[in-house]
Structure formats: structure tokens, C-alpha cells
Structure 1
Amino acid sequence: MISGRLPRLPERWRVVAVVPLAGFAVAATAAAEPPSVADSVQVEGDQIVVLIAGRDQGSTTGISSVDGGVTWSDYYGRPVRPPQTAACVPGQPQRCYRVLPGRPAVAESDDGGKTWRPSWSLSDDQYDRLARRYDPSSTAGPRSLALAVQARPGGHVVVVANGLDGVLVRDVAGTWRREGWPEPLAFVGDETANLDPEQRVALVLAALMLLGAVGTGMRRFGGVYAASALVVCVGLYVALGADGDPAALATGMTLLGAMVCLAVAIAGLASGVAVAVGFGAAPLVYAAVYVPFYGWVHGMPGSYAMAVGAAVVMTAGVVAASGALIKRDIHHRTATYGPA
């Protein structure tokens, strides 16, 4: 017969279970240096040439197009003039374009540059996705760096060296399209938005779900267990985001806390149902947190705020379902063995 006090959820566990949800909205960004930057564009006869910085491909320094940016091929050569940030349509000096400083955006003018109006820019979420691929302190930044205008049958095209985002083209119909890194540079743009901060939160919340569920099934030593579980979660969070000695110290703290939690859970006669629920719910919490952000970097949901909302709702659903299962187990044992 099972004896002793029936498990109750300590007050401290309510705090432990709720506070980390705020981490979704404040996750910071960190990322790798970009391999290539489209930093200059110029017209050479019937060619439009986009020059690429940071590309280690022998003597190839960029790509060129002879059909107004529809198709591209490798360009072998060196810059023949400094990059230009503004240009007018050949034969139409009143129609001009310029890149806007410090951001990925282009303006246009119909009066020779006296007044300007927006012509193209990234949406906030497109900008966020792009910025997350790279070190935000990089001077290359997500921004438009240079452009060139070429007269074409039926109108004109504008080609923009769009920095980290590769190539931007306005066709003769007036439609802007982000070419990114077209062939033969398609491999350059394989980087995806950095989700290390979100994955870090997902892992910590999954650990918290596991430890919290086990904690609700403790018959004794609840205070010691809760303190050890907090050490595990804090140590894991630091270890996942630190380097060198701090990471090593945090990893040691996490392992020590986990061993104490295991010993205390055994000594405290943790409920088998609570343990099973914890091990089952932990990967579900990880998926509930991480999947919406993984979808966001691929365009669905369309905004980061929606991803945050989806992660919170899905995580709350897993926690609520897990709590219901544990509560049912407590009621069952109360009915079987009597109140504590």
C-alpha cells in the first residue's frame, strides 16, 4: 500500500512554470558572419554586372546579365568605377532611382531628384528574417548598397546590389522582385534565419516541464527538489548561450542539479504517473515552442508576433493537458488510499 502525504503543487512551482513564458518576446539575436555581400552594380555595354564581396571563388568577382536581370552568369573581372547609390534612366533624366541609406529600400523620382517617393522596401518581418542570419553589428548590415539603371526594349530595368540579400531587380513592367542569390550563386543564400535564442528557450522549457511534472508527484522533499530543479534550468539556459569557462561552469551546475533532482525524486517517492507525464510532455513542449518559429523563418506564420502567440498557446495547451493528467492521478490515489 502506498502511504505518506499525497503530492501537492508547491507555490514555488507556479512561479517556475509561468515566468519563462515571457522569454519568447525578448529572445536576442546572434548569428554568423555572412559569406557574401552584393555591394556594387554597374552597366557595362549591354551587361549589368553585380559585384560580390567576400566570395572566395578564384578570380570570379560577381555575376552579369545581358537580358535585364532575367538570367545570370559568372562575371570575371574587377570594378571599373566606384559604386553608385543613385542613377537616372538613360535618355530620361527626370526619372531617377536611389537607395536609401542604412536600410534595404529604394526611392524613385519623376523630377530629376528634386523630390522622392518610396519605390520598394522590405516589410518589417522580411527585414527581421534577413537580419537574423547575420551579426547585427556587421557594417554590411541588411541594406541596399548600390544600383544601376539600364534602358531596355519596352522601358527600363533597375538592378540593386542589395547587400546581404543579394540582388534586387525592377523589370520593364515596374515590378520589383528579390532575386536573392540567383544561379550561379544559389548556394550562397542557403543560410536560414538564426533560431538559437528560440531553441534555447524551447530546451529550457522542455526541461522545466519534465522537472515540474516530476515535482508535482513528490510526496516529500519538495523544497529541496524545487531548488535543485531551478539550478538545472538556470544552468542549462546559461550553458546553451555561453562560451568558454562560463559554459563549462554552467554545464557542471546543470549536471550536479540533475543528479540531485534524480536522487531526491527517488527518495521522495515521486509518482510514476507524474514522471511518465513529464517525460511525455517535455518533447511536446519543445515542439510547441520551436515549431512556430521554424515556420516563421519559412514564411508561415507571417509575423514574429504570430509565432510568439502560437508558441504560447500551444505550450499552455501541453501544460494544461499534463496538469489534468496529474490531477486525475492525484484524485484517483486520494479515492483509493484516502486523503493525505
Structure 2
Amino acid sequence: MNTRGNAVRIVIMCVLVCAGLWVSMRACTARDLRSLGEVTAVVEGPRPGTVVVRTVRDGTAAAWLADDTGEAVGFFEPADGVVAEPQATQCAGELCYRVPGDGLRVEHSTDGGVTFTTVWEVSGGRYTRIKSTYPDLGDPAQHLSSLSLVVHSVPGGHVVFVANGRDGLLYRDVRGAWHRQGVPDSGEGCCFYVAPPRIGDASEAPDPAVPVGAGTAAVILLVGLIGALAGRRWRGLPIVVVVAVSGGVAAGIMAPLGDVGMFPGYFYSGPIILGIVVGGSIVAHRFAAAPATREAGAPR
């Protein structure tokens, strides 16, 4: 076995695979965000405990029903009833909420609307990053701002729905946690939310890229070390490290794959990551356990 030549080929292949995955993920993300649409308004629904979420996607307007749990539960048709006009301020007793309309921000009042303080906001560097993430955004004041809201009293407290333009529907649950739901959509049934880009908000699930990437690299490295220990051969360990690191990077790139329609992202990324783990482990074990190559003419 020509270990040096194979090592060079393995390194080149790993770099190309990682670069290809990264470019593909960036292209898919840009395409998905371009076709995401936006939530233009949220208003009172035709039935108690519901709201109507108005969206525009590719120039086509649609309306969806969401319930007080924040879930999109169906389409809204004009025949379902007349809904109210969008409101920038609403109250539930002495608790009031309003959207100033000059950014992704919601304000809260506990004295019936006399004084307000900011209770949820995306601002500064985070707002700049998210603004640059959405392609063909247009005027941020119109397409990336909190535009209207609905407040409902529910057992145990209250919930809030906010129309956030391209960032989708914002929902405050009864416990007080805010959730960037995204834009309603449908596939083979109804309904789901197309999630917005991550911004490092405390309510978001942890980014899986680092733990998945580190775990993948650790498994591949462990398999390589077992092969080296079993055969008492160490010359292939540098290649094992390269394969482990490359496998970890590739798995980390795939781990944050967003939902595809009604199917969660891991439905697609899971088999790919499993293939990376298995394939990387096989390559690492092969090189770790490979016998040393004798030079031509060398004594046996």
C-alpha cells in the first residue's frame, strides 16, 4: 500500500467533501429563505382562542388559523367569518402589549398602558445579522419589524401573538417564554411552521453542530485507535486524525439542517451523518491497521 499517496488522496477528498457540503447548505438556506414569505399581520380569529395569521409568499396572500397553544391548525377562508383589523396595541386587563413598528420589538405595560418597557427585542448586532440573512429583504421597517399583535387571556395567564414580517410569527406562551415560530405552511396535510434563522436566542434549542461534530470525530478517532492498538502499528494515525476531523466537520455542517416541509431536518441529515460515521470509521480503521510499506530493495 502506498501510504503517502493514499494519505494525500484522503486529505483532498475530505476537504472537497466538506467544502461541497458547506456550499450546498448555504445555497439551500438562501433558496429556502427567499421563498419563505412573511407574516404581514395577526388578528383576532373567528372563534374564541384563535387568531388569523396573514402571510404573503411569492406575491400570493394566504391566511392561517392558529390556536392559543401557538400551533397552526388550519387554513382560514373568507367564508369562515369576518376578522378584525390589525392592532398595534392590545390589553388583557391591566396588562398591555404594543409594537412600535420600528424594529423587531415588543413592549409591555402593567399599568393599563400608561408606561411601557421593552419585553422582547432583536437589536444591535443580532438584528444586523438577521437582516443580512434574508435575501431580497426590501425595506426592513416594513418587512422585518413587529407590525401587529393579539393578546389572549388563558387559564393561568395570557398569550401573545406578534406579526414579525419575514421573521414570521412570534408567540409568547402562558409561562412567559417567547418563541419565534416562523411562517405557516402546509404540505401533505396541515400545518407547520417554516422556522426562521437562528439568532442565538435563549428560547432556541441548542445548536447541534458542535456536539454532533465532536461526537462523530470522537467515534472515528476511537475506531482508528483501536485498529492501531490491535495491530501495534502507528504510522497511519496522522491519516486517522485527518479523517476524524474531516468527518466531524462534515457532520457538524449537516447537523443544523432545517426542516424540509413537514419533515424534521434530522429525517434527512441523520442518515447522512450515520454514513459519515460508518464510512469514516472504516477508512480510519483501514489506515490504522495497515502494515508498514517496505521500500524497494530494503532487506526483509
Report the TM-score range of the alignment, normalised by the length of the smaller protein.
Answer: 0.3 to 0.5
**TM-score under structure 2 length normalisation:** 0.46
Higher helix share: 1
Determine which structure has more spread, i.e. the larger CA radius of gyration.
Answer: 1
